[in-house]
Structure 1
Amino acid sequence: MPLGAESKAHDAEVGLYEAHHLVKKYGNVVVLRDVSVSMAPGRVHTIMGENGAGKSTAFKILSGLVRPTGGSLQLSGREISLASPSAAHHAGIYLVPQEPAVMPELSVTETMFVGQLPTVGRLPRRIDWKGARARAVEALATLKLDIDPDQLARNLSIAQQQQLECAKALLRGCRVILFDEPTSPLTTHEVERLFSTMRRLRSEGYTLGFISHRMDEVLEISDDISILRDGALVDSAQKQDFDRVRLMSQMVGREMRVIPRRQISHASAVPVLTVANLTHEPRFRKVSFTLHKGEILGLAGLVGAGRTEIAEAIFGVRQKDAGTVQLDGEDIASCGTYDIIRKGLVYAPEDRAKHGAVLQMTITENLTSSLLERVKSSMGLLSRNDEERIGAETVLRYRVRCAGIDQKLRQLSGGNQQKVVFGKWMGTGPKVAVLDEPTRGVDVGAKDEIYELIDGLAKEGMGIIVISSELEELVRLCDRILSVYEGRIVAEINGDEITQERVSSSYLSSAAASGR
């Protein structure tokens, strides 16, 4: 289906999409209170706010995932009621979610057509697989996505899964597209590709909603910006009326300053982790580096460069073909993950919903799942008092916004879930922490808290590896950065030489040289 194609289920032209006085309550908890926004065709309207401010809830209401407690929706001047996402699709509204959901055993084409597989012939009708594949190829090509339509969805990276959601919106002919933090798993290179698509959609009159915590992205792509705080709308204006200070101050409700790159390094000359010739074909090969006590080492690169796979191999969850890993001089290459954690190395993965937490468990259960030895009573049973103490201390330390430590993790915002995952691993007192996208889905106020915490841990002597798709994050935090391209370390950047331009060019030049 070509970009901008009409859907038979709704008008090709969509006017204003408006929310009037939205209210959403879960029991006694008020998530949204009297929120009104107006999204116009040919414009990108961004919703910003701290974790728990109500951004994602507002988008869920706008896309039919959640019914409001009060208020109304209007599309092109007509009041609409969205009982489900399918009703929203029928009206021409699609949500690109923060956490992509794919059926791992389906192909990419099947995933794109879930619930609407085309059929041909008279009774009995049969599925038009050839036509479905052709339309899938066309949608992927429209977004310039290098994704094989025949591969299984389980082989897609998080970034590819996120990009696939954009293609699904086009397939359904939706003219209102809401992006709930679509850039969270993407590098700068991938973000620019997505923004190119959004600009084209905007120029063709699509109505676009956007949520992001990244200031540079918001100021680059937005036409209009609305800010939520504690479930209420506190500011709304055109992009040119905002700057970074106004955005941050309105989000957190206090004056904030833009903090530059950290100037004090806590790195010592004492090695704490040594990786030599680590190889896992075809994902990465002959990776070697040394991490020192108190050092914050960044891994930069394009999505799919092999950064996460390297971290998984170090942590013991990915098989190694060759190479050694030493923690404080002890070889841990053959150890299982349980022993690696006990010896002092932890890994906080990028996909918290799949690998970092159990969403159906409570906050306390998640926080103590890596600390079972510390919450056992003399009888060998779990001590509820110890669990509650650890849960309460961690929630307070990491400023997790929740109704209580027994709240289910799935009920928290994405950023607060990330804080819980972070707190769980830091509670083990590691010597080395590998943090894969540590602030993914985290707002600017919470990011500052995590940055301060990471710096504090380094000051205490912990060696820290940060994998991040945000160049600003790497530049701000790291003492040293290794650039990874196609499974190889292609550059090392140190100290004051670390700039966004220098880091990005270090791996993009490799991509250009290879013709990518």
Structure 2
Amino acid sequence: MSCLLQLENICKSYPGVHALKSINLSVERGEIHALLGENGAGKSTLMKILAGVEHQDQGSIRIDGAEQHFATYNEAIAAGIGIVFQEFSLIPYLNAVENIFLGHELVNGFGLLRKHDMREKAIGLFDRLGVKINLDCSVEHLSVAEQQFVEIAKALALEARLLILDEPTATLTPSEAELLFGIMRELKSQGVAVIFISHHLEEIFQVCDRISVLRDGANVGALTVADSDIDTLVEMMVGRRLEASFPPKPTQARGEVVLQVRDIQLTRNGPHNSFNLHKGEILGFAGLVGSGRTELALGVIGALPVVSKDVLLRGQSVNLSDPAHALANGIGLLPESRKSEGLIVDFSIRENISLNNLGKYEGAAHLLDRHKEDTTTAALMKQLSIKAPTCESRVLNLSGGNQQKVVIARWINHHCDILIFDEPTRGIDVGAKAEIYNLMRKLTEQGFAIIMISSELPEIIGMCDRVAVFNKGAIVNVLQASDINPQEVMRHATGSLNSEHLH
């Protein structure tokens, strides 16, 4: 392999912020190169400079040894750099072909579109990627994975030699992610270089060749995948070992049972399940993807229909017929897709926190008491360490960790004392994960009871006081503290000791 990209001493400052401090990075032709770092480490700023969206204060960019000065995004594209941002840039009502050639359509001598040629070229691009895409429907009707592949084809149509993928698996299922990794390997075999940004460290070992790590806008180190492991990468990213991310588990006895699901059956002929949740504990729901963990939790709170259900809440029989009823009884859900299901991202922090509890702020003449609302929001932001300029900051502009804290703040504001966390740290960087873990443990110390549904085995082991293990929709065992280890979880989840199956 030969060097395709060389970044030398890249510096970038904004008012009051030294974002990049003499960054050096090299990428070989036909290499998949991981770029790691917490949110705020400088990854996005560096990639925007490489894509011509931002401009460095000093330092040089070399492509094939020749120094480049990208004044615009189009100049970076012309040099063979393609970028697929986490937020797609597709026009939803256009089809895949129209999106791929948008702005550089093929025309004949009369200026008319060569639709057949564009379609054939699009088919060739998708054949190169090894995927089948419906070329006739608008891209808004394609799956997230298919939209991702259209973005990649769009970059390849511009003859990209270097492809930047920013969190490409954040919204993909495991099988879709595997398909993407296959495409990345195919592009690698064709000599295309890929810079891969991901918070999922296990993915790095599946698909990457080398790794560069940034911390606080500076190079921490570069190493091969063969010479690294997850503990080493975490320590490089945040300055501490993975085990240090988890707060100590409590030594005192569990409190009383606050939620007793004596029986629940989701589907006819489906398994009957039961479990208890104690005050002050974190009960894990573990198992393979598709094992029914989330479905059971949603069935309990009435978000999914059930065949039968027998639930006691704080010792009293209760009919949790829908999520609003569950919320009125102090049960709050932090959904897996917090942006689409847990938050209104265009609203402010204050509006999101108050959303389900506006009656609390009713003032004179039934008008909203904004002073009371602002005071409560400010107190919750301080309590949960939500980092934002003001309570009027849009949730869209917050990091994943702070967005998750806003959802927690809403349910605390609603006096919920039972919280269901579904994949609580998905899409959150390693440092912010530690903040969420500490916050969850503080909540249990205050008497909250938590159900944590997670596909991350280290998270299950490090955080849970007990673990309900699922297999094909059934809780097959509830592991007590002394039995919570990877082998026991996997033995019950799969019937084997192969931990590769738990994503």
TM-score of the aligned structures, taking structure 2 as reference length = 0.76
Aligned to 2:36: 48
Shift of 1:344: 0.8
What count of residue pairs does the alignment treat as equivalent?
480
Kept in 2, the 8 Å contact 1:490–1:507? The answer is no
Give the drift of 1:30: 5.5
Give the secondary structure class of the aligned counterpart of 1:15. Answer: strand
Change (3 A) 1:288 1:99: farther
Q: In the alignment, residue 152 of structure 2 is paired with which amino acid? A: A
Q: Once the 2 structures are TM-superposed, how far is the Cα of residue 69 of structure 1 from its aligned partner?
A: 6.0
Cα distance between partner residues in 1 of 2:299 and 2:441: 25
2:378 paired with 1:392? yes
Q: Decide whether aligned partners of structure 1 residues 499 and 113 sit closer, same or farther in structure 2, where only a CA change above 3 A counts.
A: farther
State the AA in 2 paired with 1:95: I
* CA distance, structure 2, for counterparts of residue 463 and residue 207 of structure 1: 47
Q: Tell me, yes or no, if structure 1 residue 165 matches structure 2 residue 154.
A: no
- Asked if 1:415 corresponds to 2:401, the answer is yes
**How far 1:233 moved relative to its partner?**
0.9
Partner of 2:266: 279
8 Å CA contact 1:139, 1:171 repeated in 2 = no
Match of 2:99 in 1: 114
- Unmatched segments (≥5 aa) in structure 1: 1-12
- Which residue, 215, 219, 230 being the options, matches 1:229? 215
What's the secondary structure of 2:274's corresponding residue? strand
Are the structure 2 counterparts of residues 408 and 304 from structure 1 closer, same or farther at C-alpha, using a change threshold of 3 Å?
A: same
Aligned-pair distance for 1:466? 1.9
- Residue in 1 aligned with 2:440? 454
Q: Which amino acid aligns with 2:199?
A: H
Contact kept, 8 Å, 1:22 with 1:68, in 2: the verdict is: no
Partners of 1:484 and 1:490 within 8 A in 2: yes
SS at match of 2:259: strand
Confirm or deny that 1:297 pairs with 2:319.
no
- Gap regions ≥5 residues in structure 2: 499-503
CA deviation after TM superposition for structure 1 residue 451, in Å: 1.4
Q: Distance in 1 between matches of 2:273 and 2:119?
A: 46
Amino acid at match of 1:70: D
Q: Distance in 1 between matches of 2:344 and 2:299?
A: 22
Which has more radius of gyration? Answer: 2
2:468 alignment partner in structure 1 = 481
Deviation readout 1:187-211 (Å, 9 max, x if unpaired): 7777666555545544553322222
Residue identity opposite 2:218 in structure 1? L
Match of 1:436 in 2: 422
CA distance in 2, matches of 1:463, 1:183: 31
Of 477, 493, 503 in structure 2, the residue corresponding to residue 492 of structure 1 is 477
Map 1:196-207; keep pairs closer than 5 Å: 198-199=184-185, 201-207=187-193
Distance 1:99 1:304 in 2: 26
Shift of 1:272: 0.4
- Match of 1:440, as an amino acid? R
Aligned mate of 1:76, from 51, 64, 74:
64
Contact (CA 8 Å) 1:483, 1:503: kept in 2 or not? no
DSSP-derived class of the 1:274 partner: strand
Q: Is the 8 A contact 1:112 1:168 kept in 2?
A: no
1:291-330 matches, within 5 Å, as 291-294=276-279, 295-303=281-289, 307-318=293-304, 320=305, 322-324=307-309, 326=311, 328=313, 329-330=316-317
Contact 1:45 1:223 in 2 (8 A): yes
Determine if contact 1:308/1:467 at 8 Å carries over to the other structure: yes
Matches within 5 A, 1:80-91: 80-81=69-70, 83-84=72-73, 91=79
Cα offsets for 1:201-239 (capped at 9, x unmatched) = 445533222223344444665544333334x21412214
Distance 2:239 2:477 in 1: 39
Q: Distance in 1 between matches of 2:200 and 2:488?
A: 20
Q: Structure 1 425/234 Cα, relative in aligned 2: closer, same or farther at 3 Å?
A: farther
Q: In structure 1, what residue type is equivalent to 2:44? A: S
Report the counterpart of residue 10 of structure 2 in structure 1: 21
- State the SS of the aligned residue for 1:51: coil
Matched residue SS, 1:359: coil
Structure-2 residue corresponding to 1:404: 390
Whole-Å separation in 1 of the counterparts to 2:195 and 2:170: 15
Secondary structure in 2 matching 1:114 = helix
Does structure 1 retain, via aligned residues, the 8 Å contact 2:386–2:402? yes
Q: Give me the identity figure in percent.
A: 31
